[in-house]
């Protein structure tokens, strides 16, 4: 899934100061002619001016979906996910058949922790583009965060059928197997990660965890050492549990 960046700022329309100057409401030129009717006229005039500005701004809004997609991606990159979602929604109002836009909005929902909305968007993306490995992968993440590990494993597997060299999909599927207590399958996936990326500290640590639950403590210690050498911080509680179970200090 390609990403686009854009530096253009959104166009907005503001009432020019001279409009207000000519009305006299802000600069006080009519202060000597104020009468009882001003209290009625002023809100009406302000309403008309606001309505005109809003209509003008709406006319000036871009009609190009790509503008909103690019700006949404930029917002997402800054961690402004509400704004990103709003822009992706506008883009979908212009082009409701864009699998990529559903995907981007789904990712923003994942970042916000709104996993049901994310799943809906990834599902729509896959209805339009059934070959989107990224949509399967991120839908798997959303399912995993809902502790729906079978669905997550299914989606990671579909992502790997499309992109069999995706170390992240193997890693996340391994974690899902680990949480299900399927340690051999978890180890097999972490092995795949390390075939693709020998310096994946997370894969060593998670494989060590699987070995720990299989009571293969020497293998667990070996992987812990590899993870530490690569800079991974091992949770003290896990180290304490491994020491107690193995009878070793390191």
Question: Which tens digit of pLDDT belongs to each residue from 159-208?
Answer: 999 999 999 999 999 999 999 999 999 999 999 999 999 999 999 999 99
pLDDT over 70 at 32, yes or no? no
Does the pTM of the predicted model rise above 0.85? no
DSSP letter string, 76-107: HHTT-HHHHHHHHHHHHHH-TT-HHHHHHHHH
**Sign, Cα dihedral of 204, 209, 214, 216:** positive
Please tell me the predicted confidence (pLDDT) of residue 237: 97
Stretch 217-246: mean pLDDT, rounded?
98
Pick the more confident residue, 44 or 131: 131
> Average pLDDT of the chain?
83
Stretch 109-130: mean pLDDT, rounded?
98
Stretch 7-27: mean pLDDT, rounded?
28
Stretch 230-247: mean pLDDT, rounded?
97
Alpha-helical segments (H) within the chain: 17-23, 38-60, 65-77, 81-94, 99-112, 115-128, 133-145, 149-162, 167-180, 183-196, 201-213, 217-229, 236-246
Q: Spell out the CATH class of 165-250.
A: mainly alpha
d(CA 226, CA 232): 9
d(CA 250, CA 222): 9
């Amino acid at each position: 899934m390609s990403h686009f960046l854009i530096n253009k700022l959104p166009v907005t329309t503001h009432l020019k100061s001279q409009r207000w100057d000519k009305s006299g409401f802000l600069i006080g030129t009519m202060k000597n002619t104020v009468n009882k009717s001003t209290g009625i006229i002023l809100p009406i005039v302000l309403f008309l001016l606001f309505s005109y500005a809003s209509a003008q701004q709406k006319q000036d809004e871009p009609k190009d979906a790509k503008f909103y997609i690019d700006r949404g991606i930029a917002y997402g990159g800054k961690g402004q996910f509400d704004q990103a979602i709003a822009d992706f929604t506008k883009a979908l109002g212009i082009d409701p058949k864009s699998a990529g836009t559903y995907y981007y909005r789904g990712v923003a929902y994942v970042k916000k922790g709104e996993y049901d909305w994310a799943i809906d968007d990834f599902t729509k993306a896959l209805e339009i583009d059934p070959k989107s490995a990224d949509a399967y992968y991120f839908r798997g993440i959303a399912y995993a965060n809902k502790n729906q590990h079978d669905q997550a494993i299914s989606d990671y597997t579909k992502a790997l059928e499309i992109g069999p060299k995706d170390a992240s999909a193997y890693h996340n599927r391994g974690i899902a197997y680990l949480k299900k207590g399927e340690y051999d399958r978890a180890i097999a996936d972490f092995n795949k990660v390390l075939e693709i990326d020998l310096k994946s500290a997370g894969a060593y640590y998670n494989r060590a965890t699987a070995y720990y639950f299989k009571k293969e403590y020497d293998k667990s210690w070996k992987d812990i050492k590899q993870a530490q050498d690569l800079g991974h911080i091992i949770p003290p509680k896990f180290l304490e549990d491994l020491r107690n179970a193995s009878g070793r200090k390191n």
